[in-house]
Amino acid sequence: MLARLLAPSGPARFRRVGRAGAEVVAVPGRYCVTHLLLGPGSVGVVDLGSQADIPVVLDALRGLGRLTSEVCWVAPSHLHFDHVLAIDVLARRLGVPILLGRVAHDASNGRRRLRFPSRLHLLRAVATWPMQGLPFPPLADWRGGFGFGFPGAPNRFHADLLPPLVHGAPLPRLPGWFLLDGPGHADDAVLFHHPGAGFLVAGDTVRNFYGGEWNPLLCDRADYSRTQALIRSLPVDTIFPAHGPIVDGPDPIARLRTTSSWMP
C-alpha cells in the first residue's frame, strides 16, 4: 500500500520479456529485483539481495522449465547490500562462480576501497524504504552477517570468482550480452546490455519509482554523467531497473526523468 501511494509507478512485478533471441525475467525480491538472463541452456542471475529471495528465484526457474544446473554464474550489479547479501549463498548452493566487473573484483580482494553516496544522499534514500513496502530483513540475513555491501564491509566471497570482466566484454555462456562499466551510483556499478534485443539490465543506474528516472543517489557525479552519456549512445528499448517496474515503450532512455533535489 505504501509503495502504491508513495511510488506512482507501483511495486516491481514479475515479468518475462523476450526479443531477438534474448530473454530476461524480472523476479521482484525483498530489497531489489533479481533478473534472470536466459540463454540456450544457460541462465545468468543478476542481483540477489536477501536470502529470502533464494526459494523465489529457484521457484521461478522451475516455472520457466529451467534446471538449476543451467545457472552458469551469479552476479551483483554493484556491491550494495540490497543487491549482494545473498549472492555468495546462492553461488555456493548451486556450485557456480560469481561474475564481477574489474572494480568490484578488486574491492572483493581488498585491493580497492569503494565509495558510498554521502551521508546526506543516504538520508535522502531513507524515504525509498517505505516506497518499496518497508522490506524487513529476515532472520537468515541477520544470521549470515552483514559482511557484504555496507561501508567498510570486506565483501569477501567464498564461492569461486570468474576472472574480472572488463568494459565491453561478452557475458560468459550468454550470446549477444555484454558487460559495461557504469560508475556513478557506485564505483563498481556495471550494466548488462544486449544490443540486438535493446535490453539494458541497469542495476541502480536507473530506478523506477516515478515512471523511470536517473538515480539521484551518487558517489561520483562526473562518473555518473559519463555513464549517462554512454547509456544515451546505446540501442535500448527496454530498461530493467533493480528498483521498480520495467521501463519500456517508445524511447525509454529519452523519457528518463531527473528528479528535483528535494525528492527521495
Nearest to 31 by CA among 204, 223, 264: 204
Spatial distance between the Cα atoms of 33 and 136, rounded to a whole number of angstroms = 15
Number of amino acids touching Zn ion (CB under 5 A): 2
- 204 vs 223 by CB, closer to Zn ion: 204
Taking CB under 5 A as the rule, does residue 82 contact Zn ion?
yes
What minimum distance in Å lies between the beta carbon of 239 and Zn ion?
15
- 193 vs 243 by CB, closer to Zn ion: 243
User: Quick one: which segment of 82-90, 185-193, 217-225, 244-252 binds Zn ion (CB under 5 A)?
Assistant: 82-90
Residue 39 is inside which H or E element, if any? Answer: strand 33-39
What minimum distance in Å lies between the beta carbon of 49 and Zn ion?
8
- 23 vs 31 by CB, closer to Zn ion: 31
Q: Is the separation of the CB atoms in 64 and 126 below 8 Å?
A: no
Spatial distance between the Cα atoms of 108 and 113, rounded to a whole number of angstroms = 9
Spatial distance between the Cα atoms of 181 and 168, rounded to a whole number of angstroms = 8
Spatial distance between the Cα atoms of 244 and 257, rounded to a whole number of angstroms = 14
Taking CB under 5 A as the rule, does residue 204 contact Zn ion?
yes
Site string for Zn ion, 131-150 (x = CB under 5 A): --------------------
User: Quick one: which segment of 2-10, 197-205, 210-218, 220-228 binds Zn ion (CB under 5 A)?
Assistant: 197-205
- 82 vs 141 by CB, closer to Zn ion: 82
- 23 vs 204 by CB, closer to Zn ion: 204
Strand order in 238-241's β-sheet? 178-181, 190-194, 199-203, 238-241
Q: Which residues bind Zn ion (CB under 5 A)?
A: 82, 204
